[in-house]
Amino acid sequence: MDHESENATRKHRIDHQLKDAGWHLCSYSEGLNLALLDKYALTEFPTDNGPADYALLVNGILLGFIEAKKLEVGAENVLEQAKRYSKGVINTIGEWNGYRVPFLYSSNGELIYHLDAREERNLSRQIYCFHTPESLESTFFDNKAKAFEWLKDKPIDNQGLRPYQKEAIQEYEKSLMDGKRLMLLAMATGTGKTFTTVVLVYRMLVSGYAKRILFLVDRKSLAAQAVTAFASFDTPRNIKFKDEYELYSQRFRKEDFEDEPYDPTVLPNSYLTNPDGTKTFLYICTIQRMAMNLYGKAGAFIDDEETEDDEDTLRIPSHAFDLIIADECHRGYTSKETNVWRNVLNHFDAVKVGLTATPASHTVAYFQKPIFSYPLQLAIDEGFLVDYDAVAVNSDVLMNGAFLKEGEQVGVIDTETGRELIDQLEDEREFTSTEIEEKITAPDTNHKIINELKIYTDDFEHQWGRFPKTLIFASNDIPMISHADRIVNICKSTFNRGDDFVAKITGSPTVDRPLRKIKEFRNRPNPKIVVTVDMLSTGVDIPALEFIVFLRPVKSRILWEQMLGRGTRRCDEIGKTHFVIFDCFNGTLIRYFKNASYNFKIDPPGSDTISIRELIEKIYNNEDRKANAKRLSKRLQRIEKDMSGKARDQFSMFIPDGDMGKFAEHLAKYFDKYK
């Protein structure tokens, strides 16, 4: 096979890419009046150090050089030639560290590398399409130094901002000034990533660093929450964010905001297709919607939430946004989803910030290591989140499946009609955990689990005077054979508190208005029990949630942590002290993640039954001192939340100010000091 020549690469690849970006191509000739040229890419442009392959001119100003190589040559290293040409030009508009042309590129027709030579700390980076003339001109005249001065002079002191949230914004702004364009903030679920982002975005807009900002989320419910959070934010000028800056979203249905005072405004397509440097705005949408805008349905990943809102593919240039913030950026459980996620982010040449509670390997590979982390255990220790207990439910189903003996009854599901036929096994047979509730169902198992759950809810209700909001993760919601539907029906029958007491919330078309149902679960007395599969696994804020039940096998660390994160939020209105995890795989689910989990270090179910006296005895005898000190700390922190004033006075004889919470928080450190 013949290799492609450099001329062929330029003609068939680079020339087409430049034309697509809005450049007129023309060969340089002696005596050409450059001052008259606008949006031109001149080939073979002379310099004292040799001819540049392409020179980019906007309004008569020489702004860029491109060095082209044939397809088989790596593009990154040949950027050195573009640097050399930039130093060999006279009579240009400025000089920066010896460079006289600011924007430099190298390309082999497939890969493009770019360097803004004006800043000494700037590093070359890969981009995915050539900048448009409008983008180049806008970037040249932007005054980032003025924006940085504003950020340095104005302290981060917004009302309600927690110390770690302030630190996260400080690290972001420091990294921005250091020239970083890819950043990752890792903050535990429930620690206020959205509020942190609101303050960060506001400072970017006011400082002038960014005019056009995109906030990407991975679920429509999160987009609705984000729109409300930004709209209601009180700026330092004592006005709402939406009244100070333009705030737009993708299209929602009216009921998505039924309980909210804000009516979102849909972003005009022209803001995307024809970026205007005079516009200053924030746009909130799902990554699925943006993928559909860029690539159509065929190039995006399927999402039932977005199918109702079909739009044509839009021609969106790479400079449509100055800053992109990707929330829940661990998204991408399949290779296709990961590639779509990366393609959407790569399309835009902007500063990109990832937000996540659970950094995945593909997330770190893209954004690099977090510039700031606020882990779950620290948030619990500092009192911003609640901790957790674990209960093992004996269902005879393990993480690896179940071994059923000859003669046992099973329900065989007809996948065409959904009809369940009871049959007896003719022989011993092993079923995997994914086959159970998809191919077969053991009729007694689901009833047994829900009956055992009811024992715990009855005991909880007797002790605390309220029924615990409960989230059950079912195995599937497949038409005709839905495990979620079976669990809903069993719960309705077992608890017998009316039809609205239990609800299913999944992405299934059979679920009417799922976003509205999520709000009802969060804000209203009913439903008390919700059955889902994974729709409520990320980003949904339900502070009153106290029981999480696992009836589906999970082997993804990220998904496991996201699911558990639904329970960590504080809810002072109900006096929530902790939440309870029910492992319906005989405790094997928790043991599966015991050593692999990044954030959650859960004691095995049943290990927390010893008394405080026994815990102290173990610590005194130096039995697993560190782990037992941590368990004692958790016990005392819970006790502190229910202590009366009289109890605090009595404890003040033994601990400073009777402050059990502070004492418990630092307990492990005390033991380390005196070991």
Return the structure tokens found at 157: 């002191």
Q: What is the CATH number of the domain that holds 135?
A: 3.90.1570.30
Quick one: pLDDT at residue 601? 57
| Nearest residue to 588 (alpha-carbon basis) of 340, 395, 404, 363 | 395
Please check whether residue 602 lies inside any domain of the structure. no
Beta bridge partners of 283: 214, 248
pLDDT band at 425 (very low <50, low <70, confident <90, very high): very low
pLDDT band at 643 (very low <50, low <70, confident <90, very high): low
Identify whether residues 134 and 281 lie together within a single domain. Answer: no
Q: Which of 363, 381, 399 is the last residue of a domain?
A: 381
Q: What domain range is 638 assigned to?
A: 612-673
- For residues 585 and 553, the answer to whether their CB atoms sit within 8 Å is yes
Read off the amino acid at residue 654: F
Identify whether residues 376 and 512 lie together within a single domain. Answer: no
Identify whether residues 240 and 316 lie together within a single domain. Answer: yes
- Which stretch of 270-274, 280-284, 413-417 has the lowest confidence by average pLDDT? 413-417
Strand-pair category, 429-431 with 402-404: antiparallel
Q: Which of 381, 398, 429 is the last residue of a domain?
A: 381
- For residues 57 and 96, the answer to whether their CB atoms sit within 8 Å is no
Q: What is the CATH number of the domain that holds 582?
A: 3.40.50.300
- For residues 371 and 359, the answer to whether their CB atoms sit within 8 Å is no
Q: Scan for tokens 């990943």, then name that residue.
A: 301
Q: Which of 359, 381, 403 is the last residue of a domain?
A: 381
Give the pLDDT mean for 322-349.
80
Identify whether residues 288 and 310 lie together within a single domain. Answer: yes
Q: Which residues contact 133 (CB under 8 A, 6 or more apart)?
A: 21, 22, 23, 38, 39, 56, 58
Identify whether residues 130 and 152 lie together within a single domain. Answer: no
pLDDT mean across residues, the chain: 82
Identify whether residues 236 and 339 lie together within a single domain. Answer: yes
Identify whether residues 655 and 589 lie together within a single domain. Answer: no
Element (H, E) at 288: helix 287-295
Quick one: pLDDT at residue 1? 43
Beta strand extents in 129-245 (DSSP E only)? 182-187, 212-217
| Nearest residue to 186 (alpha-carbon basis) of 172, 204, 176 | 172
Strand-pair category, 409-413 with 440-441: antiparallel
| Nearest residue to 318 (alpha-carbon basis) of 647, 630, 650, 20 | 20
Query: What total number of domains does the chain contain?
Result: 4
- For residues 209 and 202, the answer to whether their CB atoms sit within 8 Å is no
Identify whether residues 241 and 376 lie together within a single domain. Answer: yes
Quick one: pLDDT at residue 506? 85
Please check whether residue 267 lies inside any domain of the structure. yes
Identify whether residues 196 and 341 lie together within a single domain. Answer: yes
Indicate if the pLDDT at residue 174 is higher than 60: yes
Q: Is the pTM higher than 0.75?
A: yes
pLDDT band at 305 (very low <50, low <70, confident <90, very high): low
Please check whether residue 71 lies inside any domain of the structure. yes
Please check whether residue 601 lies inside any domain of the structure. no
Identify whether residues 226 and 107 lie together within a single domain. Answer: no
Identify whether residues 152 and 125 lie together within a single domain. Answer: no
Element (H, E) at 271: helix 269-273
Q: Which residues contact 329 (CB under 8 A, 6 or more apart)?
A: 184, 341, 354, 355, 356, 363, 366, 367
pLDDT in tens, 50-88: 999 999 999 999 999 999 988 777 777 789 999 999 999
Q: Scan for tokens 């400079």, then name that residue.
A: 319
Quick one: pLDDT at residue 411? 45
Beta strand extents in 385-494 (DSSP E only)? 387-392, 402-404, 409-413, 420-424, 429-431, 440-441, 469-473
Please check whether residue 45 lies inside any domain of the structure. yes
Please check whether residue 605 lies inside any domain of the structure. no
Please check whether residue 598 lies inside any domain of the structure. no
The percentage of residues in the chain with a pLDDT greater than 90, rounded to a whole number, is 40
Identify whether residues 104 and 189 lie together within a single domain. Answer: no
Please check whether residue 443 lies inside any domain of the structure. yes
pLDDT band at 353 (very low <50, low <70, confident <90, very high): very high
